[in-house]
Amino acid sequence: MNSVISAELKLRRKRLQQAIRESEMDACLLSDTTNICYVAGMVFSGYAYIPADGEPLFFVKRPTGLLDENIIYIRKPEQMADFLAQRGVKMPNRLLLEGDELTFNEYVRIQAVFNPQKTGNATALMRSVRSIKTDYEISQFRISAQKQTMTYTAIKSCYKTGMTDVDFQIEIEYLMRKNGSLGIFRTFGANMDIYMGSILAGDNAQAASPFDFALGGAGQDVTLPIGANGTVLKEGTAVMVDMAGNYTPYITDMTRVFAVGKLTDKAYRAHEVAVQIQNEIEKAAHPGVCCADLYNLALKIVEKENLSDCFMGTKQQAKFVGHGIGLQINELPVLTGRSNEILQPNMVFALEPKFVIPKVGAVGIENSFRVTENGLEKLTVFEEAIIELT
């Protein structure tokens, strides 16, 4: 492991250990892939045991062959207790476990291994710690943003007259992979199936989704109801491209709208309002601002412009206008009316005011922003007007 990564992992663990102490717990046990990535800088099947103070222990089932003084090979979780006892490490009385990530059966088994007097939710703690990005993580976002912009610049060249949304998406996916997209697109929570992103054209943008994304789309199969559904890209159609910025493990999120010929006046106006919402939130946002206030600012503009019936969908409307990004596409904070999260420096989030115009499609904008000491920095810089496909 190189020295940059080694220092980075130390910094992350220091922050995590501080959060463990602040929540008055003795240790945190992690096994979710994303959490393991975060604390170990790699994936293994097993458990990371992070005490409130001192060195972490990595209990590994797979892969074989890892060499590090903190790595202990195990076949089953019960061996963790044996190991701690042998080392004379005191068992944690107050233990954080991933209550929103471990399955019930895994959780119960691990609880029996440690038998703590008190348990807390490691999922919530990790999501909070991970929401403030390090300089290294921000450098990874910058690489993703740059490559995502390179892809978006070439999207126009993927279009051919008579294509369906699926045809168009396939060409964009191919371009993404050639530009270094890693393919995998991690999400938090159940019911968030997605493949490389979403293209929405015409009235498919109205299709309500079972998933918790901003917009829906019927998808190619009833068992995969998200995004493109085979809509032909004909004159007057808005084509919203929201394809993943998964060029490093840190995913940027960016949406641009393309038009086949000319759209309706309402579509252009709604697009301008979306850009205005973005710009107003960009001006209002800085450390100390509550995320709910930013969402309510968006709603205020939407109401003033008389576009409430098509903001963030029509038949089903998403109740947020932005979300944290990172190793997963849906991290903290969430810009929603119910949020009491406060912006802090080096939070990174996607802001995505969008409107769905019946018969035309979805319009609007999405960019990824970093919270700076006194405002926001836009990471995904690229033309924001509707781009005509020819």
Binding site for a copy of itself (CB under 8 A): 31-33, 37, 41-45, 62-65, 97-108, 121, 123, 170, 173-174, 177-178, 182-184, 186, 190-191, 193-196, 207-212, 216, 220-225, 248-249, 315-316, 327
Q: How buried is 22 (Cβ within 10 angstroms: 0-12 exposed, 13-18 middle, 19+ buried)?
A: exposed
Nearer Cβ to a copy of itself (70/121): 121
Nearest approach in angstroms of CB 347 to a copy of itself is: 21
Report residue 75 as tokens: 């076949």
The Cα–Cα gap between 254 and 175 comes to: 16
Nearer Cβ to a copy of itself (196/351): 196
Report residue 379 as tokens: 């990471």
- Asked whether 13 and 109 are in contact (CB, 8 A), the reply is no
Nearer Cβ to a copy of itself (89/182): 182
| Cβ-Cβ contacts under 8 Å for 254 (sequence gap 6 or more) | 145, 148, 149, 152, 242, 245, 350, 366, 367, 368, 380, 382
Nearer Cβ to a copy of itself (88/162): 162
Nearer Cβ to a copy of itself (62/156): 62
Nearer Cβ to a copy of itself (4/43): 43
Nearest approach in angstroms of CB 293 to a copy of itself is: 24
Indicate the residue type of 136: Y
Three-state DSSP at 125 gives helix
Which of these, 102, 93, 96, 118, lies nearest to 20 by C-alpha position? 96
The Cα–Cα gap between 39 and 142 comes to: 21
The Cα–Cα gap between 131 and 325 comes to: 8
Nearer Cβ to a copy of itself (194/329): 194
Report residue 137 as tokens: 């993580």
Sign for the CA dihedral angle at 48, 49, 52, 54 comes to: negative
Report residue 189 as tokens: 């929570």
Nearer Cβ to a copy of itself (98/203): 98
The Cα–Cα gap between 157 and 134 comes to: 36
Nearest approach in angstroms of CB 110 to a copy of itself is: 10
Nearest approach in angstroms of CB 199 to a copy of itself is: 12
The Cα–Cα gap between 159 and 260 comes to: 10
Nearest approach in angstroms of CB 68 to a copy of itself is: 14
Nearest approach in angstroms of CB 184 to a copy of itself is: 5
Nearest approach in angstroms of CB 78 to a copy of itself is: 18
Report residue 19 as tokens: 């959060």
Nearer Cβ to a copy of itself (62/283): 62
Nearest approach in angstroms of CB 262 to a copy of itself is: 30
Q: Which residue has the tokens 């995913």?
A: 251
Nearest approach in angstroms of CB 275 to a copy of itself is: 28
The Cα–Cα gap between 137 and 249 comes to: 9
